[in-house]
Homo-oligomer: A and B are copies of this chain.
Amino acid sequence: MILSEAELRPLAVAALQRRGVPDDSAALQADLLLEAELRGLASHGLLRLPRLISRLEKGLADPQARGSHDWRHSGFLQVDGERGLGPVVLMAALQTLAGRVGETGLALAAIRNANHIGMLAYYAEQAAARGLIGIVLSTSEALVHPFGGSRAMLGTNPIAIGIPTGAAPFVLDLATSVVSMGKIHSHALQGEPLSAGWAVDVTGQPTTDAEAAKSGAIAPFGDAKGYGLGLAFELLVASLCGSDLAPQVRGTLDDTHVANKGDLLILIDPGQRDGLARRLADYLDALRASPPARADRPVAIPGDGMRARRAATLKRGIDIPDSLLAQLQAL
C-alpha cells in the first residue's frame, strides 16, 4: 500500500512514545527510518521498527538513554551509549563534537553500547550541514567472508563520508560488503533471488537463495581491496570503541542480545578557504559532464541517485508491504 511520509511518521513516533521514548528521541528515531524509506533504502526503513520496539519492551534498548560522555583527550570523546537508541546516542555525540572542533580542528566519538544507528548517510549530512566534514563507521555481526574465504568473519562495516561543497554536500554511504545484509533480508522478504557472487551458504558454497544466504556469508565488495578496507574498519572501530569483534557481536539484527558493536564518528573543520567550496562543486559538475562509458548513462556522483529517489518518493508516496503496515498499526 502507498502512503505518504506524513501519514507514516505519526505511526512510528507513537509506537516509540508508547514505550517511554521521549518526544524528541521518538521524532529522531522515526526520522531515520523514514529518511531511509524516502531514499528507497527499505532495508534500513520501517521494517526495522517492530524489532526495535521489541528491544525496548525487553530492556535491550533504553528509551531514555542518550549516552554518557567522557573526554579521554581534548579531541577524543568516549561514549557509553547506555543501551540508548542508536540515532539518539549518535546525534548527542555529534552535537558534543561539533562544539569542540572549533578548538581542536577535529574530534572523534568512540561509541559502544548503543543500538543500531541505521542509515549512516544521515549523520554525514548532519555534519556537512554544519559546514563540517563527517566520517562515520559502524560494525555489525559477522556477516561477510574474507576475500578468498568462505565463512562469515567480518561485519558489513559501512562507512559514510560527508563533505561540504558550494552546492549540495557530497555524501557517500556504503557497506564494505558487496551488498548490505539489509538487502539480503529485503530480498528474502520479497522472495527474490540474489545476484551470483553476492553470497555463500552456511557450508561455504555460492548461493543465490536469500534465505540460505542469511545463515551463510556475503562477499566483500571489490575483492582483496574491499576486504582489506572492511577489515581495517573492523579493527579501527574495535580499537577505539572497545567494542566486540564481528564473531562476538550481537544485537543489531535480533531482539535477544544487547548491542555490543561499535560506532565511530569523526568531525573535521575544513575551515574557510577562498573559493574552495565553489571549486569542489565545479569539479563534481565536470565529473557529471565527463564522457560516459555508455552514451545513455551519464557519470553519477554518489548521493545524486539518493536525492533523486527522495524527491520522487516524497511526491509519489512510500510503498509499504501490507503485512508490515499491519504490524506498524498494531504497534
Contact = CB atoms under 8 A, between A and B. Distances in A.
Interface residues of A, number: 72
Interface in A50-86: 72-76
Contacts of A318: none
Contact of A290 (B151, B280, B290): B151
Interface of A: 72-76, 101-108, 133, 145-151, 153, 159, 161, 163-165, 170, 172, 174, 204, 221-226, 228-229, 231-232, 235-236, 238-240, 242, 245, 247, 266, 268-271, 273, 276, 279-280, 283, 286-287, 290-294, 297-302
B108 A106 contact: yes
Contacts of A291: 149-151, 204
A297 to B, nearest CB: 6
B222 A172 contact: no
A300 B148 contact: yes
A301 B108 CA distance: 27
Contacts of A292: 148-150
A163 B104 CA distance: 23
Contact of A222 (B204, B226, B239, B269): B226
A104 B291 CA distance: 45
A103 B75 CA distance: 8
A273 B244 CA distance: 13
Contact of A172 (B165, B231, B293): B231
